[in-house]
Amino acid sequence: MAYSFGSDEYFMNEAFKQAEIAFEEGEVPVGAVVVCNNKIVAKAHNQTERLNDSTAHAEILALTSAFNYLGAKYLPDCTLFVTLEPCTMCAGALNWSQIGKVVYGATDPKRGYKRLVTKKEQVLHPKTEIITGVLEKQCGDLVSAFFKKLR
């Protein structure tokens, strides 16, 4: 399906392509892209198995790539598109990055950061805008297929 360039669906579809690469490589299928001024400046997928590194999540790898590409320590003018709700580790990294916006596809009730958040607490940076449910079914179905394949 074609999505109009610049839409949340367009960029989430690009993150989904990264998740498909992870799936093919036997990684938990999560993909991420960082976008600044309607341009993808970083893309990544989970590589915890390949790198033997439990912190090599798509979000962390995409943030590191964006910092390097932009020569910046903070990303307030950027958006992270990620296929699955970030875990608490990734949410902490997103907080430190001061990213302007996070858009994610499927929720993760077992490991997602929101399970630890109350109305009084916040994990992401207070100025970070959050949008959920973009291509939710497509993103969730890929994760479900991965874990079904493992069983």
Catalogue the active-site residues: 59
CA-CA distances (angstroms) from residue 86 to 23, 37, 151? 17, 23, 24
Q: What is the DSSP string of 58-120?
A: HHHHHHHHHHHHHT-S--TTEEEEEEE--BHHHHHHHHHHT-SEEEEEE--TTTBGGGG--SS
Bridge partners, 131 (sequence order): 103
